[in-house]
Amino acid sequence: MIKYAKKSFYYPSVVPISNILALKPAAFESLAALIFCGKKMRFRVVCRAGYLVERLPKGGDDLDQNNYRRLIWGRQNGFWALVLRFFLNLVAPVYSVIIRLRNLFYSKGWLKIYHADVPVVSVGNITVGGTGKTPFVIWLCCRIMQQAELKNQNCNCAILTRGYKTKKGRLSDEPAILAKGCPDAKVIVNPDRVAASVEAVNRFAADVLIMDDGFQHRRLARDLDIVTVDATTPFGSSKASDEPRILPAGLLREPVSALKRADAVVLTRCDQIDEARLPQIEEKLHQVSPNVKIARSIHEAVCVKSLTQNHINIEQLKGKKIFAFCGIGNPNAFLSTVKDLKLDLVGSKIYNDHHCYTEECLTDIYEEARYLQADLILTTQKDWSKAILPTSAEKDIMFAYLAIELKIIAAEDELTSLIEDKISCKISKNQKGKL
């Protein structure tokens, strides 16, 4: 079940100045996004009625995130690339100071923190882009409910999610995936996590709250802080030699030192890098936080699902030509997964994260796939929830998504014990109080 807030809180090209004054990280991430929009796009920012408004050409996307990453990682050269990097490096220390001050205010109690009546588990990250939070939230929710069932406890779980780019009356990608992956949990979409937590407890009698993308949302207290770190870009770069940089000069939402607040770190996509790099990443994490628990995980491809077939064995796709597209935070991870499955990838198309697909987009995808004589158009479940190809297209080329499940491959018992220790006593105490 998905519960939406009464109002739509997403403004595609608008950043409220009040959010900046309130030191909300999302506002600064949006401003960072405005800085670089690719060679074919231009922008200007104007102040109007308390908002910073980004103006883009019609049909333009919010930013070209692939070019942005190439720019900040030094993969783009030329005079203007150097000028932009210089400007971004000037702005980054200002952002860093603001974030550090915000964290200090919360740590000292100068900014109010709300404490829910039930256990709260936060799942988040310290970088922008996809780190595998959504599959882990599904794993976590299922594991909490399984543990409660073993103890004969009736555990109602609620997932609090911001619902990025959610519009009233429409499913956005991540809430839809969470609702499908956790059918027994309530998914509450509201950028105000405090209001969402109150609703979850009072209206739905939730016993446990899982706060999706909540590491920076410090206004709601949590009993357990879990951070997902993408092993392919652990600190905002795919190269271990690159110095970690904070927004907008890098992909870090906070300084790496913020990981001291984390109780556990889950490394995701561990199978997509050289295994020798994993101990190096773990060593760096322990340098920041010596007592943090570290688990390793992979995104395991389970099967392929289409409109007409609910389960297609991956082996059945061997020998077929695949055209892939996606609009996620880490598109290279998806394309690497397809290649690792030894599928014949004849072409691909990448959109920005949370891309809103139109009929024109989908027609372009279909025509390109047909030109390359593809047998299957493959995407992610996140994109599948928004991208619906015309029915006529389905007759010519099958349209499907790759079903992925997160699998813990190291320190699963330690992680499970930590979760149980942090929340089980509080659940039992609350349920006894209801009797």
Q: What domains lie within the chain, and their CATH numbers?
A: 9-108 (no CATH), 120-232+247-299+407-434 (3.40.50.300), 300-403 (3.40.50.2300)
Whether 156 shows a pLDDT value over 80: the answer reads yes
Whether 304 shows a pLDDT value over 90: the answer reads yes
- Residue-averaged pLDDT of the chain: 81
Average pLDDT of the residues in 123-129:
91
Whether 390 shows a pLDDT value over 50: the answer reads no
Q: What is the pTM of this model?
A: 0.82
Cα distances (angstroms) measured from residue 283 to each of 171, 234, 289, 295: 40, 12, 10, 13
Residues 205-241: pLDDT tens digits? 999 999 999 999 999 999 999 999 999 989 887 666 6
Whether 29 shows a pLDDT value over 80: the answer reads no
Residue 434: pLDDT band by 50, 70, 90 thresholds?
A: low
Which of 2 and 118 is assigned the larger pLDDT? 118
Tokens of 138: 């599904």
Percentage of the residues of the chain whose pLDDT score is greater than 90? 52
